[in-house]
Amino acid sequence: METIGGSGLLLFSLVIYRITEYCICMKRLLLLLLSTFSTGRAATPMDPLLAFARTQPHDLAVSTYALQADGTPDTRRHTLNWNSTQPMPLASSMKIVVLAAYAHAVASGTLNAQLPVTLRDWEGFYLPGTDGGAHASSLKTLGLPADRSGRASTPDRTVPLDTLARFMIETSDNAATDLILSRLGPQAVRQTATRLHLTGQDDIGPIAGMFSTWDTPRDQTALLTMTAAQRTALYWQRAEQVRQDPSLRDPAAVQRRARAVEPATANALQNRSAPAGTTRDYAALMARVLTGAGLPDTELQIMRRHLGWPMRVNPGNDEVFTRLYAKGGSLSGGVLTSNLAFTPKVGPAAGHPLVVSVFLRNVPAGQYRALQDSLDEALLMIAIRPDLAQQLTDALGSAAPKK
C-alpha cells in the first residue's frame, strides 16, 4: 500500500470495525496531473470507482466543483453532484467536524491548545487493534516508545493538546479524537454543525464508546432501534466506562470481542448507528478551508494547519500543489470516504481551487482493496478533468443525478 510520506496505515483484517485514515496516495500525483489520462482500454485508477458506480449507484455520493473566491461553486467549470444530500456513513471524515469544533473552542478561549495532556489520559480511550495502528503511528512520529499493543511506555509524559488535534487528522488517531471530544463536551459538535450550516450532519459521540457498544451483543440489537440522540448518549456513557476501567482496554479482551462481531452485523451497525453526513456539507466545509471564506481567521489557521498535513509530511507535494487539504476514513465492513481541497500548480486545472468529496458504503469485500488503493487518485481525476467526471456520471446511469 503506497502512502503519503510513509505515514499511512496498514489495516488488520481480523478487526471488523475500525475507523482509519484513508491512505492519500500522492507518490504519482505529479505524473497524474501532467498526463493526458488515457481514456482507452488501459487500466486507470478510475476503473474500480466506475465499476462500483455501475452496480451500486445508490451506495455512492459525490460532490466536486471548482471554487470562486467566496467558496461557492464556479459554474464556468464542470461540477458533479450525485446523492450529495443523502446521509452516508462518514468513518473518520467526521473528524473534520470535530476539528472545526476544536478550532472554535481554541479561538474563543474555551480550550487552551498548549494545555499539557499525559499519555495516560490520551490512552484512556485507546482500544488496541481497532485503529489500524494509528495510535502507535502517532507515538512513533513523536519518537515515543510503545509496547507491542501500541501503548506508550512512558505514560506520565505530556504533550500539548494541539498535538492530539494534529494526530486526530494526520494519523486518524481515534483516542486523540475522543480525548478532544471529552474536553469539548457533548454539545460542541451539534453547535458546530449548526454554526457551519451542516444540515446533513449527525451528532458525533466518542469512538471508543461506539466500538464498545458494537461488540456487545445486547447493545447491537438495541442500537438499531434507538434514536440518534439515544445512541450518542450511549456512546458518551460507554466511553467514560472505557476511560475508567482499564480491563475494557486490555488488548486481548478488545480483540476477542472484535472477532465475535459477525460481518453482517458490522455492516448493519455501520449503516444505521455510525455518524453520517453528506458530501454536499463536507465539500462546502473543505471549500471554506481552501478559500478562507466564512471562517474566522484564527479558526481557519488551525484547520489549515492540521488538514494541510500532506504538505508537511511529504514536502514533494509542494511541486504539485499551491495548497492541499485532506481527510478521509474507512470502516472495513464496507465504508470508504475521502475529502480533498486543493489548488494544483500544474496540469489542465493549474491555478484553479478545487474540492471533491466522495462517500461509499456497502463496498463488497472483493472490491474494497482496489477501491481503497485508487480512490484518491480517482477523486483528483474527476475534480480536474471534466471528461473523466462525465465518465463517472455515465457510469452512474442515465437518470438525472440526485441533488
Q: 218 and 352, same structural domain?
A: no
pLDDT averages per 10-residue partition of the chain, 403 residues: 27 36 45 52 86 97 96 94 98 99 99 99 97 96 97 98 98 98 98 98 98 92 94 98 98 91 90 97 98 97 98 90 96 93 94 98 96 95 96 81 50
Same domain for 387 and 245, yes or no, is no
Query: Given this model, what pLDDT does residue 40 score?
Result: 52
pTM (2 d.p.): 0.92
Instruction: Provide the grid cell at 15.
Output: 478487526
> Can you give the chain as a three-state secondary structure string?
CCCHHHCCCCCCCCCCCCCECCCCCCCCHHHHHHCCCCCCCCCCCHHHHHHHHHHCHHHEEEEEEEECCCCCECCCCCEEEECCCCCEECHHHHHHHHHHHHHHHHHHCCCCCCCEEEHHHHHHHCCCCCCCCHHHHHHHHCCCCECCCCCECCCCCEEEHHHHHHHHHHCCCHHHHHHHHHHHCCCHHHHHHHHCCCCCCCCCCCHHHHHHHHCCHHHHHHHCCCCHHHHHHHHHHHHHHHHHCHHHHCHHHHHHHHHCCCHHHHHHHHHHHCCEECHHHHHHHHHHHHHCCCCCHHHHHHHHHHHCHHHHHCHHHHHCEEEEEEEEEEECCCEEEEEEEEEECCCCCCCCCEEEEEEECCCCHHHHHHHHHHHHHHHHHHHHCHHHHHHHHHHHCCCCCCC
Query: Of 214, 238, 273, at which residue does a domain stop?
Result: 273
d(CA 201, CA 274): 11
Q: Answer yes or no: do 256 and 227 share one domain.
A: yes
Q: Are residues 263 and 342 in the same domain?
A: no
Q: Which domain holds residue 35?
A: 4-91+278-396
Q: Same domain for 331 and 388? A: yes
Identify whether residues 256 and 296 lie together within a single domain. no
Residues 128 and 267 in one domain: yes
Question: What length does the chain have?
Answer: 403
pLDDT (tens digit, 9 = 90+) per residue, 145-188?
999 999 999 999 999 999 999 999 999 999 999 999 999 999 99
pLDDT confidence of residue 396: 96
Q: Are residues 239 and 123 in the same domain?
A: yes
Number of domains in the chain: 2
Decide if 202 is inside a domain.
yes
Same domain, 187 and 46: no
